[in-house]
């Protein structure tokens, strides 16, 4: 999961602010006024973060399909922790790959030495 600078700033702003509805909903008007985003930039960032699972669209009621704001999803609330865990996982894979490369090199050297192949 990679997050660009503007999306990171957007998520930090949302996490640090209070939602304007009790159920954790941030309306588009609230986001625009509080964080001074223009409409196109805000919608571009929001749609990308919904695709990434960081945000969820919020509808006014169950029968209405139109959305009027967003809610932070669990991935959005904990994105820094998720990035850190992903980075640790990548380093584990690199270290394991390095260890197996060294081990296989030593094994090949031993086999060639044992059979006298040079």
Between 117 and 70, residue with greater pLDDT: 70
77's CB contacts (< 8 A; 6+ apart) are 15
- In this predicted structure, the answer to whether residue 113 has a pLDDT above a threshold of 60 is yes
87-102 pLDDT, tens digit per residue, is: 999 999 999 999 999 9
Domain 5-77 has CATH 1.10.10.10: yes
Cα 103 to Cα 28, 89, 95, 108, 118: the distances in Å are 56, 21, 12, 9, 19
pTM of structure: 0.65
Between 105 and 116, residue with greater pLDDT: 105
CA torsion through residues 58, 25, 17, 53, sign: negative
Q: Could you tell me the residue ranges of all domains in the chain?
A: 5-77, 79-118
27-72 pLDDT, tens digit per residue, is: 888 888 888 888 888 888 888 889 988 898 887 556 555 667 888 8
């Amino acid at each position: 999961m990679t997050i660009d600078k503007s999306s990171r700033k957007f998520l930090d702003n949302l996490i640090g602010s209070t939602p304007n509805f009790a159920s954790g909903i941030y309306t588009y008007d609230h986001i625009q006024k509080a964080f001074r985003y223009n409409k196109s930039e805000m919608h571009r960032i929001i749609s990308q973060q919904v695709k990434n699972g960081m945000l969820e669209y919020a509808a006014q009621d169950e029968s209405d399909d139109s959305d009027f704001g967003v809610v932070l999803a669990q991935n959005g609330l904990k994105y820094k922790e998720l990035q850190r865990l992903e980075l640790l996982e990548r380093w584990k894979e690199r270290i394991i790959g390095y260890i197996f490369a060294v081990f296989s090199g030593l094994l090949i050297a031993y086999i060639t030495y044992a059979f006298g192949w040079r």
